[in-house]
Amino acid sequence: MAFTSWSFAVFLPLVFVLHYAGRSLGWQLGILILASFVFYGWEHPWLVLLLAASTTINAEAARRLLHPNSSRTTRHRALVLALVANLGALAFFKYARLLGPLLLPASLLNRWDVSFRDIPLPVGISFYTFQGISLVVDAWRAGSAGIRGLPFPATPRDSVWFHARVWFFKAFFPQLIAGPIVKAGEFLHQISPKRLTDVDWDGASRHLITGFFLKLVVADNLREATASLASPLFLVLPKLNLIALLYGFSFRIYADFCGYSLIAMGLAKLFGYELPINFNLPYLSQSITEFWRRWHLSLSSWLREYLYVPLGGNRKGPTRTYINLFLVMFLGGLWHGVAWSYAVWGIAHGVLLAFERFFGGSRRNTASNETWTAGRILRAFLVFNGVSLLWLLFQLSDFRDVIAYIHCLFHNPWGAQPQALYVISLFSLPVIIQHLRGANFISRRLPARLEAPFFGFLLFLILVNSGTPGDFIYFQF
């Protein structure tokens, strides 16, 4: 079920009313867990079996890891089995089509190739698998000290509550399909009875209106406006249109994913929960390192805490640091999709991160109150263009098309198709203004008397100027 569907417009108020109809934690968790499984399995009911299996395995592993009397061998076995189950499911459903031809003999491949191509990609599996890994790793690290909000179940009744909390943590529908990736220590302690009088209506409405505006008005209209960013359509376009397509797609992917994250945060607020911020004006970044401190923060944080640091981080010398950066970004690229273009995208970011660290560029950072000098503006412009060029690998999965686009960018004649330029510029403008406000080129705060009319205007635009509905880009990841 998508946030932008009519079925969700009926689903949300019904769940909201049922959730606050009871004041006990058991009632509220039960309603939200049931609603989350209905939400996830709405179009493909078989998906709930996969989510239930993943949740059960991770809950039981966490219970064993937190048991005060578990031996190190028992805990180690529970951790390994849970990681194998999580990563095995992800590898099978997401990467079998990619890795099968590399790992299997030709005789088996010829026999099974059709089956590999037919393996479905369960929506959201990357996100809730990473959440499960964070749970078991946090439980391994915590041991008998326990995880805040998830005490070890000493009695059968406690065991029911333990599993209910884990099921809710894994399945909570606002962040289930496309994040933010919530870590156990960030969320479990928030589980408590919620009251209608405590709802942050102001924060929820701001997040929801801004999120739906970015998705429906900006991203969906840009999706139509940048449809020519496909081979062979772009081959005959003049140079200015090619540049506009590149920037338009860059703004679109930001508006689409940031919009989803804001909607998720707003929905969570309606039920009394806080999700972590996922974007912080990434196109203001003056380095690739800073970009990853601003873009998809929950993934960046997860990769750093559960992959980069365990690999040794920057504690084992420069060479090992560069290898770790390269490996983490390579795997981060593959996390995004089942094509080698995503792996190349990750490798490119890894190389740029290592390059910056070698030359000291990773230490650059932009504070909101710093003056934007010509040098800062130039660095931000170069980073934005580099990031935008690499986004081509998300849109053009065939490397030959990427090379052809870059060739056209340099060799096609100057000129423009004005209508296409106008549409891309118009719907890119909100993202540009948002970043200019963040950089203090435009006042960051509206006068109090203008805030309500401003959000009312955004709501009006959502109703009258939404683009043709499309799936969120990150649903494919």
Which residues are known catalytic residues? Answer: 336
Q: Sign of the CA dihedral 16, 18, 21, 27?
A: negative
Polymer length in residues for the chain: 477
Q: Scanning the structure block, which residue is given the tokens 């549409």?
A: 423
Helix spans in 143-238 (H):
156-171, 173-176, 184-187, 201-212, 220-225
279 within 8 A of 297, measured Cβ to Cβ: yes
Whether the upstream peptide bond of residue 418 has omega within 30° of 0, thus cis, is no
Rounded to whole angstroms, the Cα distance separating 198 from 180 reads 23
- Among candidate residues 169, 93, 77, the one with its CA nearest the CA of residue 131: 169
DSSP 278-344: --S-GGG-SSHHHHTTTSSHHHHHHHIIIIITTTTTTSS-HHHHHHHHHHHHHHHHHHH-SSHHHHH
Q: How far apart are CA 334 and CA 260, in angstroms?
A: 21
CA-to-CA distance for 365 and 157, rounded, in angstroms?
A: 50
Q: In angstroms, rounded to a whole number, what is the distance separating the alpha carbons of residues 38 and 44?
A: 10
Amino acid residing at 311: L
- Calculate the alpha carbon distances from 314 to 330, 349, 351, 453 in Å: 17, 17, 15, 49
Helix (H, G, I), strand (E, B) or coil at 150: strand
For the CA atoms of 393, 394, 398, 400, the dihedral, rounded to the nearest 10 degrees, stands at -30
CA 289 – CA 292 distance, rounded (Å): 5
Q: Are the C-beta atoms of 416 and 238 separated by less than 8 Å?
A: yes
Estimate to the nearest angstrom the gap between the alpha carbon of 425 and the chain centroid.
Answer: 26
Encoding tokens for residue 352?
């740029």
Query: Residue 188: how many CB atoms within 10 A of its CB?
Result: 20
CB-CB neighbours of 131 under 10 Å: 27
